[in-house]
A = this chain, B = another copy of it.
Amino acid sequence: MTTLETFDLRIEDSIAWVYFNRPERANALNQKAWDEMKVLFEELDDNNDVRVIILSGHGKHFCAGIDLELLMNVAQFSQPCEGRKREQLRKKILALQAPINAIEQCSKPVIAAIKGGCIGGGVDIISACDMRYCTDDAYFTIKEIDMGMVADLGTLQRLPKIIPPGIAREMAYTGRNVTGLEAERIGLVNRTFASAEEMYTEVMKVAQQIASKSPLSIRGTKAILNHSRDHSVADGLDYMATWNAAMLLSDDLMEAFQAKMQKRPAVYK
């Protein structure tokens, strides 16, 4: 694993803990952070010691979103030809979307554990995670509207497929905070917790459970869930049958059978 400047990574018992690590800037994401995020999740995808990933933030806040300086640079980069300027701007936005897509495309489940603020780009990021948990006093803000811009890193594409679209629109138009408790009520997070400690303890339990399952099946399940969201049910079922034609017959299936018959927990490689 490459040395990380803006993230902190700890791998234990098949669980990778990934922390945003610029607490002094409320974990705002500068260019370095975006670059590292992409490489990091691509490496975790490949790393056989990792079966599940927990994404959290050091310090008070989960993530304050894109660093303002970076945004200003984007807004002011100079190119005499207006057409080419926009062409580069389009590429830049696609490049900033890529690290977030890397979370979604990472073959292992990524769990967001959120305390404090999850703001702007932070919401783009957690929308691409598999599951979200938070503390009661965490809060979520689509801050882009207050920067005079349209949120362009995935929130508007992914969030309305997670929470009731009327709430998603209210958040996007008003930029208001959604607290942890409301987040649970609207399905944005799976559960909230009174404290960060409790959250980490419980999220780790979820992660341990996932890590104890067949890794092949977990990867397949995530791939299929990603596919399903963007396809019709009929297309999804055909793809599913084709997928399992390839992947169903495995050592893990056999181990599960035998464990069941021997009434012992299955142990997967």
What is the interface of chain A, defined by CB distance below 8 A to chain B? 68, 72, 74-75, 80-84, 86-87, 89-90, 93-94, 97, 101, 104, 109, 130-132, 144-152, 154, 156-158, 160-170, 172-176, 186-190, 206, 209-210, 213-214, 216-222, 224-225, 228-257, 260, 266, 268-269
Contact = CB atoms under 8 A, between A and B. Distances in A.
Contact of A228 (B109, B156, B257): B156
B83 A253 contact: yes
Contacts of A84: 216, 250-251
Nearest to A112: B166
A175 to B, nearest CB: 7
A215 B24 CA distance: 33
A247 B190 contact: no
Contact of A162 (B74, B146, B166): B166
Q: Give the residue among A219, A228, A252 with the most B Cβ atoms within 10 A.
A: A228
A229 B234 CA distance: 11
